[in-house]
A and B are shown apart, each in its own frame.
Chain A
Amino acid sequence: MRLRQNNLLMLRKLTVVALGMFAFGYALIPIYKHICEMTGINILALGEKELPGSGNARLSKADNSQVDTSRTITVEFDANARGPWQFKPMQSSVQVHPGQLMSVMYEFQNVQDRSMSAQAIPSYAPSEASAHFNKMECFCFNQYTLAPGEKKQWPVVFVIDPKLSKSVNTITLSYTFFEVGSKTPAAPGSKVSAVSVSGEGV
């Protein structure tokens, strides 16, 4: 009898623990968000998802910073088209001071005979530059749908935070333009395509 009672108690405790672990799994999503914000790890996503506009903390921070004329940073622009479309920067590089607002254009053309949706993903070299490269406006914030043959020019407006480490004075900003829903291409000449490379959205 004692044994049965003990077992029931144990069962109850274990059920609570199991439910708790399950709930913890769900709670991980907001927990991760908070931890990343607190520690500042989540640099890339934060920069991209923020929309320009008033009340935006990052934007106002940049407004308040002075232009640091003692430093000149060379920003190089790179473009990678991951697919059959044309994509290039209109300028290959600019010289800019930290705190100075700068705008450059990228050109994109859908040379196919079908319309497509595309998303640009940015990347920075050296990687420590990404934390201090504030994009006020960028075509990488949104997806775009282009008709066949359509050509577009888009701006990137950015300001470099003066807090950027003194050892960095060249930054390469690179975009790769992916078709929405595209996956890793199959290896050339491969027999099996286990993953479909769909053209339309997922």
Chain B
Amino acid sequence: MSAVLDPHGHGAADHGHDDHHGAPHGWRRWVYATNHKDIGTLYLLFAFTMFIIGGVLALLIRAELFQPGLQLVNPELFNQFTTMHGLIMVFGAIMPAFVGFANWMIPLQIGASDMAFARMNNFSFWLMIPAALMLAGSFFMPGGAPATGWTIYAPLTLQMGPSMDASILALHLLGASSIMGSINIIVTILNMRAPGMTLMKMPMFVWTWLITAYLLIAVMPVLAGAITMVLTDRHFGTTFFNPAGGGDPVMFQHIFWFFGHPEVYIMILPAFGIISQIVPAFSRKRLFGYASMVYATSSIAILSFIVWAHHMYTTGMPVTGQLFFMYATMLISVPTGVKVFNWIATMWKGSMSFETPMLFAVGFIFVFTMGGFTGLILSMAPIDLQLQDGYYVVAHFHYVLVAGSLFTMFAGYYYWSPKWTGVMYNETRGKIHFWWTLISFNVTFFPMHFLGLAGMPRRYADYPMQFADFNAWASFGAFAFGFAQVYFFFFIVLPTMRGQGEKAAQRPWEAAEGLEWEVPSPAPFHTFENPPKLNADANRIVA
């Protein structure tokens, strides 16, 4: 039985304590969970469920867009699909999944017994359940789900029904959950590292999460402010975004994107951290340029605060504004490029093998960089005038979020699941999942670049017929992509959760470094109850 489901799994390093602590069983184990591994599991399963719901919405969208004409839904419901697909994927799938990885791996990687605030950790997780129910359930409220796009611009939000208010409450809850989680992560990382693990000896995944947590604390309150202003404009007579009372609809965009841009970096920095662990492990070579990786990640985080208005080039900014934001945005490509070069330099003259984690990591580097280049092209304000609010933008952000964040999560799953479950996933099936996902992803989203250049706007339920062929390809690819993920869950994840598979070694990847590989597979319920003694590089335990 894997440790994921059995808290009494005995490992070599820690044993015997569980019985007289009365390790929890049954529903209490999960509802009252304070163990970072259990909470990590809860987050990951929750995120996957939301991913499927968001994915179904995407398939409904692509089914409607398969051909010109309205075959399945009316345009209002279509707009609800696009909105909820975005909100659920961003706030329900990507962010919680990375928090799940953080919960599982950070204490293990720094040699801590658990997160600093174990009960607050529990609260952070369970807050998400009512929020998710409200988001998913908003379709059944009068007027249906919000139909404003995930960016919820005013004054369109002022025309929405009660589901808008429910979504605002849901976003508040999710924001609170994220902020508490971030506080937990920062305190854990700063206070609970094993002796000898200085900041510059931490694993990169821990570094990227430390930086991400600061970003979260800085910007989630800004989103909270924006959506509260929408709420009071809707019901309490304020006119923040209503020009009749002296307000300005564009101000909403400024506030939202001040949150929104760091938000997208929040969704990618932990991914960078995971890749920085996997590539060295499968290249059998240390990460190239550890220090500059840390500086590059910090630069990206700091720069992310001063580029928000590149989402607003068409709102009527004066020239100086457009130029400033254009320059700042182009600048972010420099530290990002440094990271890509460092990963490739890690691979260079290494001794590589291509098990599934490495396949996804290399796939990530290749496809995420494509997304990065389209981002650089979009950052040029004159070009953005052609492409703003069109399918080129949709292609860009799906390349960086799906081929970026999601591929990394798959990579992280394949890399770490032996530690979580104690069994190896089926390598052949993993490879099938990889190629199926990579190919169908590109079939879905590559044609969207052409659609965007040709002028097809986004959030359109129907379109001129010249766009029909590329839309058909995209829909075909989307369904293939969806089936790949169903295959992933039923044929790869579920068997390992049930303990079906080859028994995993403590260090299944021979060159993997990090304290997580110093504990048995599956990791026992309690690990590092006493701080371990570390070697000089802080990646091995000395007896």
Contact = CB atoms under 8 A, between A and B. Distances in A.
Interface residues of B, number: 21
A192 B142 contact: yes
Contacts of A126: 318
A119 interface: yes
A87 to B, nearest CB: 14
Contact of B162 (A121, A128, A184, A192): A192
Interface centre among A126, A180, A184, A185 (most CB of B within 10 A): A184
A45 B247 CA distance: 10
Nearest to A194: B161
B243 A178 contact: yes
A25 B165 CA distance: 25
B243 A195 contact: no
A38 interface: no
B234 interface: yes
Given A191-B142, A194-B143, A202-B237, A121 B160 contact: no
Interface centre among A119, A183, A194 (most CB of B within 10 A): A194
B318 A184 contact: no
A127 interface: yes
Contacts of A58: none
Nearest to A119: B244
B242 A183 contact: yes
Contact of B234 (A121, A190, A191, A195): A195
Interface in B227-275: 233-235, 237, 242-244, 246
Contact of A191 (B161, B233, B244, B316): B161
Nearest to B162: A194
Nearest to B321: A127
A45 B243 CA distance: 12
A82 interface: yes
A93 interface: no
Nearest to A123: B243
Contact of A176 (B165, B235, B243, B318): B243
Nearest to B249: A184
Interface residues of A, number: 26
Interface string B160-201: 111011000000000000000000000000000000000000
Contacts of A11: none
Nearest to B159: A187
B40 interface: no
A183 B243 contact: no
A172 to B, nearest CB: 12
Given A183-B242, A191-B143, 18 more contacts: A82-B244, A125-B316, A127-B318, A128-B318, A176-B243, A179-B244, A180-B244, A183-B244, A185-B159, A190-B159, A192-B142, A192-B160, A194-B143, A194-B159, A194-B160, A194-B165, A194-B234, A195-B235
Interface of B: 142-143, 155, 158-162, 164-165, 233-235, 237, 242-244, 246, 316-318
21 contacts: A121-B243, A121-B244, A121-B246, A123-B243, A127-B317, A176-B243, A181-B244, A183-B158, A183-B233, A184-B155, A184-B242, A186-B159, A191-B142, A191-B143, A192-B143, A192-B161, A192-B162, A194-B160, A194-B234, A195-B234, A202-B237
Interface of A: 45, 82, 119, 121, 123, 125-128, 176, 178-187, 190-192, 194-195, 202
